[in-house]
C-alpha cells in the first residue's frame, strides 16, 4: 500500500532538553539534531528534531486523549531496572471493543542509542491515527480488520542514557531465551532483564500475526534464524516474501535475508517470537546510503514515507486471513473465552555451574482472552496457528534444519467473568483455517443460578 502526503500536522517543533531527569542527555544525541536541513519532506507530527522521553510520553498520551475511539494506552507490566515505565498504544477502529482482530506489533529502540528507530515507530502511530480520523478509507479498512500495537521505546533506560544497553549493561536483544548464550552483553541469564520480560508479556498475550522490531543502521530486513546451524525456518517462504516486499519499498540498496546470513547472534527477539508464536517476526534496519551523513534529516525525514508504506504492508499482511487461523462459534453473551498453551524452550548449550555443557530450559506460556460482546453470542477470533514450529534448540543440544511442527492444541476455556471455568475445549487449527467450537455446555451453565 502506497500513500502520499501527510494529514494535518498538529505538533510543535521539538528541541532537546539537556537538563531534565528523563530527557536524553545532549551528549547522547547525534550531532545534527537541533533542526533538520531544509527539505520538502514533512513528518506527520511536524517535528524536526529527536524527541525526549517526556516528548514520547506526551505524544502517546495526546493520541489517546484526542482519539479515544481509535487509541487506548498500554503500560507494560515490568518497570525498567531504574524504575521507569514502558508505555505504548493500541490502535484500531472501535479500539475498546473485544473483537478478536489479528494483531500487528511494532516496536522501536531495543537499542537505546538507535534514535531513528523510535522516531519512525512513533511517527507511524501518529500517521495511522490521523489518517483514520481524517476518513482515509484505505487506512480505516485496515483498522477495521486488524489491531496495531506500538511501543516506540522498549529500552527506556538505554534511551535516557543514550546507550545501546540497559542499565545492567545488557543488550536486551541478546537476552531472549531461545538459543541464548552467556555472552558479555547477554545478561545474567535468559530473560534476566525486565525490558525483555515486557516483550515476552506483550507477544505472549496478543495474537501477533506480524511482529516488527525497528533498528538502525544498515539497509536490511532480517528474519529467523539467528544461527546458520539452525537451518531455515519452517515458514521461510512466508518470512522471505514479507521481508522482500518490505525491503523493496525502502529502496534498491535494501536486502531481505535470514539474520544468520547478516551476522550470527544469540537470544534475539525475532527467533523467540517466531518459534513461540509462529507469527511472522522481522528485524527492520534502516540507514542512509554509504557516504551520506547520518542526521535527523537523512535518518528520519528522508526515509519516513517509505517507512510508512513498509509498515502498512506489514499491517496488510497481519490482516490477511491466509496468515492466521480463526476460532469461531457461539457462546453466552458476557462469557470470557481464553486460549492458552505452555511449553518448554531451550537456550544454546553452555557451560553450567556443575561443569557440564548443556542447554537451560525455560517455560513459555501463551494466553489471550476474548469477552463475547455480541447479543447473539457469536464470535470470530483471529489466532496464531496451534501448530508450533520445532526449533533447533532442544533439551540435548542443537538439532538444526527442522521441518516439522509440534501438534499443540490451544486449550480454550469458556468462563464466567469471575473466572469460573464452565467448559474446556482443545482446538487444533492451522494457517488459513477456521474451526468452529461447540460451546453448548458453557451456554447451558452460564446463566444457571450458582449453588
In this structure, are residues 216 and 299 in contact, taking their beta carbons and an 8 Å threshold? yes
> Is 285 annotated as catalytic?
yes
From the list 90, 193, 268, 285, the catalytic residue is 285
Coil/strand/helix, residue 157:
helix
Q: By the 8 A CB rule, do 6 and 44 touch?
A: yes
Residue 348's contacts (CB-CB under 8 Å, 6 or more residues apart) are: 179, 180, 181, 227, 266, 359, 393, 398
Find, among 372, 93, 403, the residue nearest to 233 by Cα: 403
d(CA 380, CA 326): 7
Cis previous bond, 225, omega within 30:
yes
Q: What is the DSSP string of 229-257?
A: GG---TTHHHHHHHHHHHHHHH-TT-EEE
For residue 93, give the C-alpha cell. 477502529
Residue 152 and residue 200: Cα distance in Å, rounded? Answer: 16
Rounded Cα distance between 416 and 435, Å, is: 22
Angle between helices 194-204 and 269-277 (to 10 degrees): 30
Helix (H) or strand (E) holding 60: helix 53-66
Tell me the backbone φ, ψ of residue 32, rounded to 5 degrees: -95, 65
- Contact between residue 359 and residue 348 where contact means Cβ atoms under 8 Å apart: yes
Task: Compute the half-sphere exposure of residue 160: CA atoms within 13 Å on the CB side of its CA.
Answer: 21
Scanning 278-351, the segments in alpha helix (DSSP H) are 296, 304-318
Taking Cα atoms as reference points, which of 294, 337, 313 lies closest to residue 98?
337
- Give the residue from 161, 239, 233 showing the smallest Cα distance to 195: 161
Give the residue numbers marked as catalytic: 285
Amino acid at each position: 500500500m502506497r500513500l502520499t502526503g501527510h494529514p494535518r500536522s498538529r505538533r510543535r517543533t521539538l528541541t532537546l532538553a539537556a537538563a531534565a531527569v528523563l530527557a536524553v542527555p545532549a551528549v547522547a544525541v547525534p550531532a545534527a539534531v537541533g533542526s533538520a536541513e531544509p527539505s520538502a519532506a514533512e513528518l506527520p507530527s511536524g517535528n524536526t528534531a529527536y524527541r525526549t522521553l517526556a516528548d514520547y510520553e506526551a505524544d502517546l498520551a495526546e493520541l489517546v486523549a484526542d482519539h479515544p475511539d481509535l487509541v487506548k494506552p498500554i503500560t507494560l507490566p515490568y518497570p525498567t531496572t531504574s524504575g521507569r515505565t514502558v508505555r505504548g498504544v493500541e490502535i484500531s477502529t472501535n479500539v475498546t471493543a473485544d473483537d478478536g482482530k489479528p494483531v500487528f506489533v511494532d516496536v522501536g529502540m531495543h537499542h537505546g542509542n538507535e534514535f531513528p528507530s523510535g522516531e519512525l515507530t512513533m511517527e507511524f502511530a501518529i500517521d495511522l491515527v490521523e489518517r483514520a480520523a481524517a476518513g482515509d478509507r484505505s487506512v480505516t479498512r485496515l483498522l477495521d480488520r486488524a489491531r496495531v500495537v506500538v511501543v516506540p521505546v522498549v529500552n527506556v533506560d538505554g534511551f535516557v542514557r543514550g546507550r545501546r544497553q540497559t542499565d545492567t549493561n545488557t543488550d536486551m536483544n541478546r537476552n531472549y531465551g531461545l538459543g541464548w548464550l552467556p555472552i558479555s552483553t547477554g545478561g545474567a541469564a535468559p530473560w534476566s532483564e525486565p525490558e525483555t520480560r515486557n516483550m515476552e508479556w506483550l507477544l505472549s498475550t496478543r495474537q501477533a500475526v506480524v511482529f516488527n522490531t525497528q533498528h538502525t543502521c544498515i539497509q536490511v530486513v532480517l528474519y529467523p534464524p539467528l544461527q546458520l546451524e539452525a537451518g531455515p525456518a519452517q515458514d521461510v517462504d512466508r518470512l522471505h516474501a514479507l521481508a522482500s516486499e518490505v525491503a523493496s519499498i525502502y529502496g534498491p540498496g535494501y536486502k531481505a535475508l535470514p539474520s544468520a546470513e547478516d551476522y550470527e547472534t544469540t537470544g534475539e527477539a525475532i527467533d523467540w517470537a517466531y518459534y513461540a508464536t509462529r507469527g511472522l517476526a522481522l528485524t527492520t534496519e534502516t540507514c542512509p546510503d554509504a557516504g551520506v551523513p547520518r542526521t535527523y534529516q537523512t535518518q528520519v525525514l528522508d526515509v519516513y514515507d517509505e517507512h510508512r508504506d513498509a509498515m502498512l504492508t506489514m499491517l496488510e499482511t497481519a490482516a490477511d486471513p491466509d496468515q492466521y487461523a480463526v476460532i469461531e462459534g457461539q457462546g453466552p453473551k458476557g462469557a470470557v473465552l481464553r486460549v492458552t498453551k505452555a511449553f518448554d524452550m531451550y537456550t544454546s548449550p553452555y557451560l553450567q555451574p556443575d561443569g557440564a555443557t548443556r542447554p537451560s530450559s525455560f517455560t513459555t506460556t501463551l494466553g489471550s482472552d476474548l469477552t463475547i460482546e455480541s447479543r447473539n453470542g457469536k464470535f470470530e477470533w483471529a489466532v496464531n496457528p496451534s501448530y508450533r514450529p520445532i526449533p533447533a534448540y532442544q533439551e540435548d543440544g542443537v538439532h538444526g534444519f527442522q521441518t516439522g511442527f509440534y501438534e499443540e492444541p490451544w486449550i480454550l476455556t469458556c468462563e464466567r467473568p469471575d473466572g469460573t471455568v464452565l467448559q474446556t475445549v482443545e482446538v487444533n487449527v492451522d494457517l488459513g483455517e477456521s474451526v468452529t467450537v461447540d460451546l453448548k455446555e458453557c451456554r447451558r451453565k452460564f446463566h444457571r443460578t450458582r449453588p
